[in-house]
Structure 1
Amino acid sequence: MTLLELRDVAVAYRGAAGDVPAVRGVSLDLAAGEALGLAGESGSGKSSLAMALLRLLPRSARVTGEILLDGEDVLRMSWGRLRAVRWASASVVFQGAQHALNPVRRIGDQIAEPLLVHGLATPAQARRRTAELLEQVGLPAWRARSHPHELSGGQRQRVMIAMALACSPKLVVADEPTTALDVMVQAQVLALIRSLIAEHRISLIMISHDLSVLASTCDRLAVMYAGRVVESGPAREVFTGARHPYARALAEAFPTVGDPASRRAPRGLGGDPPDPARLPPGCAFHPRCPAALPSCAERDVGPRPVAAGWSAACVHAGPEAADTGEAGQAGESGGTGAVRENA
């Protein structure tokens, strides 16, 4: 059963010289209980897309298209209906827990707040539920009396996960939940997210620039560049054998376990993402693409099927590329072939 449908979603921010596109015509589906990873460099549009799901963007943002949550368009909900949906049907684990938590309130009160606001529990029930949630995320119940500054970074991130699960939502959006954590704590938090999602059959959208993290956590991957999804498909297959040169470069930017040469000189991608206000003509990636053809500077290519449930927006992907030999050119460097052990 499909829980979330995005139909031609676009996000633009008002600027002095006009609208600046951050997301350009994204269409994606998410099934109940499925985990989808959104990957891309900073500025690719992944966080703008995720925050648009619950209308959490600033007023300078203009969102068009359709965002159907359980068949209901979020963009056309009244504010009262939207308030009822937030936390109860869909919740967010924000990137910086230190900034998302109120520094002058105890964490137990902050976890209980969604339950009380939505009328899902009495104060006594909310306290009991808070203790249960803290224990579920690996923290002792007495930590409910702590303030955020009394917790480590990993503990604060666990509190954010507990808040996101408080009202038993159907969907959790995790915006780079492990970016500020060291490798060992990152592995613990990722394992916690995987186990809780599986236990409660919650759908997950996880945002990261790290394809290895997403490949080890999610069922499917969607790689974004310059506001578009350039490749989407099964997570492991995309990570180890991406067809779009950009997705492949993201995967190859990480060293392969057991390969000292890749640790000393990891492959990656030079240059910077384009300015959204001044996108190049044709394929936005062609100025940085090692496999660009002359036609890439003239026309953009829509998604081409690679396999069942797998597509890439590149001239080197799909049956047409195979007929002309382009697929072989694009696949010479291959994928990384391995997922990091600590992911």
Structure 2
Amino acid sequence: MLELDELTVRYRIAGGEVPAVRGVSLSVPAGEALGLAGESGSGKSSVALALLRLLPRSADVGGRVLLDDEDVLSMKWGRLRAVRWSSASIVFQGAQHGLNPVRRIGDQIAEPLLVHKLASGAIADQRVQELLSQVGLPAWRARSYPHELSGGQRQRVMIAMALACEPQLIIADEPTTALDLMVQAQVLTLIRRLIADHGISLLMISHDLSVLADVCDRLAVMYAGRLVEVGPSSGEFRHPYSRALAAAFPTVGDPASRLAPRGLAGDPPDPQQLPGGCAFHPRCPVALETCATSDVQLRASGAGRTAACVLVGE
């Protein structure tokens, strides 16, 4: 369904270029859910926006993005417009920013249908009601404005818009980040159900590994613009960064976890001044001398898992 082949993203700034994504290769088969994780600044959202060419003009994108064997990066503008929403759609991180505040919810959900000439008039209105029902909202909400809805309801509206043209792929960029735990659980349950009911492929992006593991079949972990591990959502992580990311979340009710939270010292590296060798080695608790000079690529680490670490297999 979706294949990334050596995807690169570089942003042009006054002082030169910022390499945000450095040679990411991934595949999402039809009907599969893939989770993409990493700290802020690791390049996750740049990957998501590059898939449908939504990056600003200051971005230079390289490699290939194959959607049903068709390269999105080389599409003409007319073909790209036809692909957006109909073949692949996106749920943005902040629903408040993704919705027009002066237009009613029903009109915004119907817009992809009208643009792609899939429905109009009473048929479009009926389809809007069906979509609202699918995401657990009453039909009368079509007359509401975004500010009249809660954060969870707005996110459901974004999901309804993403489903409007029955795409084969949905890209969800941190869809639950701004929600409280109860609403987050409801939205995740909704996403799982929709994937199962419609056979949709999903690329879901989050910094929260527990959220991704709850929804996705496979997980990919990014650090400093590169993939450091890819594998099933179940099973042990092999890369030290993936393990540290998983351990950084506190355990509810555990005093030791609350008083002494686990995590990583320091910050991710400046993309313009990446360290030599493995970019993670300055923060790695088990780094070897060779890590400062060896730029290890993803290598097999058993059970359908790959990791970019010299310690894999030892």
TM-score bracket, normalised by the shorter chain, equals: over 0.9
Aligned to 1:275: 270
Q: Structure 2 matches for 1:1-343, cutoff 5 A?
A: 3-237=1-235, 241-256=236-251, 259-318=254-313, 322=314
| Aligned mates of 2:199, 2:252 — CA distance in 1 | 31
Shift of residue 264 of structure 1?
3.4
Tell me how far apart the structure 1 counterparts of residues 164 and 307 of structure 2 sit (CA, whole Å). 37
Shift of 1:76: 0.5
**Equivalent residue of 2:165, what SS?**
coil
Amino acid at match of 2:193: S
* Equivalent-residue separation in structure 2 for 1:257 and 1:182 (angstroms): 15
Report the 3-state secondary structure (helix = DSSP H, G, I; strand = E; otherwise coil) of the residue aligned with 1:268.
Answer: coil
- Identify which of structures 1 and 2 has the higher relative contact order when contacts are C-alpha pairs closer than 8 Å and 6+ apart: 2
Q: Secondary structure at the match of 1:19?
A: strand
Please state whether the residue corresponding to 1:23 is helix, strand or coil. Answer: strand
1:274-300 CA-to-partner distances (Å, cap 9, x unmatched) read 111111111111111101111111121
Distance 1:207 1:42 in 2: 11
4+ residue runs over 3 A deviation: 256-260
Q: Deviations over 1:213-235 (max 9, x none)?
A: 00111000000000000000001
| d(CA) in 1 for partners of 2:303, 2:233 | 13
Q: Specify the alignment match of 1:325 in structure 2.
A: none
Deviation track 1:163-206 (CA, whole Å, cap 9, x = no partner) reads 00000000000000000000100000011011011110000011
Aligned residues of 1:23 and 1:48 also touching (Cα < 8 A): yes
Structure 1 counterpart of 2:276, one-letter code = P
Q: Is 1:116–1:123's contact at 8 Å kept on the other side of the alignment?
A: no
SS in 2 for 1:267: coil
Other structure's SS at 2:234 match: helix
For the aligned residue pairs, the C-alpha RMSD in angstroms reads 1.0
CA apart distance, 1:260: 4.1
Alignment-mate amino acid for residue 79 of structure 2: R
In percent, how many aligned pairs have the same letter?
A: 76
Contact 1:283/1:297 (8 A) holds in 2: yes
**SS at 1:121 equivalent:** coil
Counterparts of 2:111 and 2:14, CA distance in 1: 39
Measure the CA separation in 1 of the matches of 2:162 and 2:264.
35
Amino acid at match of 1:268: G
C-alpha distance in structure 2 between counterparts of 1:177 and 1:264, whole Å? 29
Residue 262 of structure 1 and its aligned partner are, at CA, apart by 2.7
Note the residue ranges of structure 2 that are not aligned, 5 or more in a row: none
Following superposition, the deviation at residue 317 of structure 1 comes to: 0.9
SS in 1 for 2:301: strand
1:259 CA drift (Å): 4.4
Q: Aligned partners of 1:198 and 1:164: how far apart in 2? A: 16
Counterparts of 1:257 and 1:155, CA distance in 2 = 26
C-alpha distance in 1 between matches for 2:123 and 2:3: 34
Are the aligned partners of 1:222 and 1:233 in contact in 2 as well (CA < 8 Å)? Answer: yes
- CA separation in 2, counterparts of 1:34 and 1:166? 20
How many residues align? The count is: 314
TM-score by length of 1: 0.90
